[in-house]
Amino acid sequence: MDQAVIIQMVVSGALMGLVYALVAYGFQLTFATSKSINFGQGELVMVSAFFSLTLTDLGLPYYLMIPGGLLFGVIAGLFVERAGVRLALEQKSEGWILMTIIIGLFGFSAAENIWGRDDRPFPTPIPSEPIQLFGISITWLEVSVAVGVFMIMAIIELFKRKTLLGKAFEAVSADRDAAELMGISATRTIMLSYGLSGLVAALAGILISPITTVGPTMASVLVLKAFSVAVVAGLESGFGVVLVGLFLGSLESLTSYYVGSGWREAPGLVLLILSLAIRPTGIFGKAVIRKV
């Protein structure tokens, strides 16, 4: 079997997998603190990408557009938390599921009306020329995705481990009631997690837009894959999400090369079914013991 081909397929797939992982990481962040996730995460990615595109169109240079786009993501994340999640959590209801879906749909319609339904190119100073690396082709754009994903995750994980605020975050994730007894405001920590989740979504939008183009439906496939990754990995571990993302991405592209392009989606779904049947908490998940 041609080794170069296998490596090429694994690398190309893994890079797509990293994007799934980044979106799934956004789920993981909010799930850790609040046991809730934003079902409109895909729309958040899309709206942030459109917003960043608008900043670029206004003439902002790339390095200023990124913080602008990320800030928008944070604000959007906080909005989702305040408008859709907070009250539901206070009342211990599952209302956040419907609310986040509704906010997502709202974002989708808004994007269609403000920016139109066309797929648009996203300008970037990063060259799209391929480079040869150990006999495989890879583009700088893809490298930038990988670098961006690892960097943001490393920063957030370091923040969680090294800073006081981060430790509060971890404490709420571990045991919300105990953390509150220690004087940590769970509400604030959940706000923080939604803000971070929005930041991650915005970064995902900015990173992948030059490859996928920007359009209202740009994230709809992505978010489904991210769900698979999140479920298979379990929502407890950030690094688990990355590993599963890489694995799923490579598996997809290998399948589509060796089995046929029509079967591309199959391994992800099989993996999902297997994991739900055998290990519903996810590969890296912990079984939750509930005392009644």
User: Which residues touch 35 (CB under 8 Å, ≥6 apart)?
Assistant: none
Please, which of residues 209-228 interact with other proteins by CB under 8 A?
211-213, 215, 217, 220-221
| Nearest residue to 19 (alpha-carbon basis) of 179, 177, 205, 191 | 205
Q: Pick from 67, 130, 135, 280 the residue near other proteins by CB under 8 A.
A: 130
Instruction: Choose the stretch contacting other proteins; rule: CB under 8 A; options: 47-55, 87-95, 133-141, 196-204.
Output: 133-141
Residue 212 Cβ, how far from other proteins at the closest point, in Å? Answer: 5
Q: How many CB atoms lie within 10 A of CB 123?
A: 12
Specify the residue, 108 or 284, whose C-beta has the smaller distance to other proteins.
Answer: 108
Q: Pick from 87, 93, 94, 117 the residue near other proteins by CB under 8 A.
A: 117
User: Which residue do the tokens 């993981």 mark?
Assistant: 28
Specify the residue, 19 or 85, whose C-beta has the smaller distance to other proteins.
Answer: 19
Sign of the CA dihedral running 140, 141, 146, 152? positive
99 and 85 in contact (C-beta within 8 Å)? yes
Please, which of residues 264-283 interact with other proteins by CB under 8 A?
264-265
Please, which of residues 29-48 interact with other proteins by CB under 8 A?
none
Instruction: Choose the stretch contacting other proteins; rule: CB under 8 A; options: 30-38, 129-137, 192-200, 229-237.
Output: 129-137
Residue 117 Cβ, how far from other proteins at the closest point, in Å? Answer: 4
Residue 14 Cβ, how far from other proteins at the closest point, in Å? Answer: 11
Residue 137 Cβ, how far from other proteins at the closest point, in Å? Answer: 5
Angular region, 215: left φ>0, alpha ψ -120 to 50, beta rest: beta
Residue 223 Cβ, how far from other proteins at the closest point, in Å? Answer: 11
Q: Pick from 105, 119, 163, 276 the residue near other proteins by CB under 8 A.
A: 119
DSSP states of 226-241 = HHHHHHHH-SS-HHHH
Question: Which tokens hold the place of 54?
Answer: 């608008």
3-state secondary structure of 214: strand
Q: Please name the residue ranges forming H helices in 127-185.
A: 140-162, 164-174, 176-181
116 lies in the site for other proteins, by CB under 8 A: yes
268 and 248 in contact (C-beta within 8 Å)? yes
Specify the residue, 167 or 264, whose C-beta has the smaller distance to other proteins.
Answer: 264
Instruction: Choose the stretch contacting other proteins; rule: CB under 8 A; options: 88-96, 152-160, 248-256, 276-284.
Output: 248-256
**Residue 33 identity:** T
Q: Pick from 146, 187, 257, 281 the residue near other proteins by CB under 8 A.
A: 257
109 lies in the site for other proteins, by CB under 8 A: no
127 lies in the site for other proteins, by CB under 8 A: no
Question: Beta 136-139 vs 130-133: how paired, if at all?
Answer: antiparallel
Q: Residue 201 and residue 79: Cα distance in Å, rounded?
A: 14
Q: Residue 182 and residue 171: Cα distance in Å, rounded?
A: 9
234 and 24 in contact (C-beta within 8 Å)? no
Interface residues with other proteins (CB under 8 A) are 2, 5, 8-9, 12-13, 16, 116-121, 128-130, 137-139, 211-213, 215, 217, 220-221, 253-254, 256-257, 260-262, 264-265
